[in-house]
């Protein structure tokens, strides 16, 4: 059995009690290689998201920082990071910020995404996102902003995720 299959089999359902993202991050972030393992877990839980191979660098209540290495697999024909790879980075960055911040009895889903491409993206792209405190599982819409910057600090893209938060379904 490969690593991806083993990780997938070990993943709890995100719909179970507790907060899988917060619990996994807190367990792994201080362990050598733990951030890479956490990033891989997120990619196994959400395979399309995992296809860009981004790494979660920092995660805390209301904040996420995620890096996408510039490599051939995420480039377009103009030799820069592909627009859809940037959209995927935006979704991952905003989603882990929200997921970490959720109370144990809440869940979310992205209802929409707006993205603005500001310049060609080259080099390692860093996505950052801030989200509001979420203290209960009351249904609500949130706008989650994500900024993506190149190694010089220039913003190459910005996105807004339309996110619906609500209670987990009873099991």
- What pTM was computed for the model? 0.89
Tokens (6 digits) for 11:
């993943």
Please report the pLDDT score of residue 19 as a whole number.
93
Largest CA distance in the chain: 48
For 156-160, what is the mean pLDDT?
Answer: 98
* Phi, psi dihedral angles at 84 (to 5 degrees): -75, -30
* 55 alpha carbon, distance to own chain's centre: 9
Set out the domains of the chain in order of their start, with CATH numbers: 3-167 (3.10.129.10)
Question: 58-80 pLDDT, tens per residue?
Answer: 999 999 999 999 999 999 999 99
User: Is 70 exceeded by the pLDDT of residue 91?
Assistant: yes
Cβ atoms of residues 44 and 1 within 8 Å: no
Residue spans of beta strands (DSSP E) within 8-135 = 55-60, 63-68, 106-117, 125-130
């Amino acid at each position: 059995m490969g690593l991806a299959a083993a990780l997938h089999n070990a993943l709890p359902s995100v719909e179970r009690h507790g907060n899988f993202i917060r619990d996994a991050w807190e367990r792994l972030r201080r362990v050598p290689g733990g951030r890479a393992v956490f990033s891989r877990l997120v990619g196994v839980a959400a395979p399309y998201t995992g296809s860009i191979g981004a790494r979660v660098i920092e995660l805390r209540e209301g904040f996420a920082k995620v890096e996408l290495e510039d490599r051939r697999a995420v480039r377009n024909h103009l030799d820069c990071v592909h627009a859809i790879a940037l959209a995927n980075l935006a979704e991952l960055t905003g989603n882990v910020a929200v997921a970490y911040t959720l109370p144990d009895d809440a869940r979310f889903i992205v209802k929409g995404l707006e993205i603005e491409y500001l310049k060609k993206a080259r080099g390692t792209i860093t996505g950052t996102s801030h989200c509001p405190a979420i203290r209960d599982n009351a249904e609500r819409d949130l706008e989650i902003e994500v900024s993506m910057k190149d190694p010089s600090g220039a913003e190459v893209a910005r996105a807004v995720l339309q996110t619906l938060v609500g209670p987990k379904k009873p099991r």
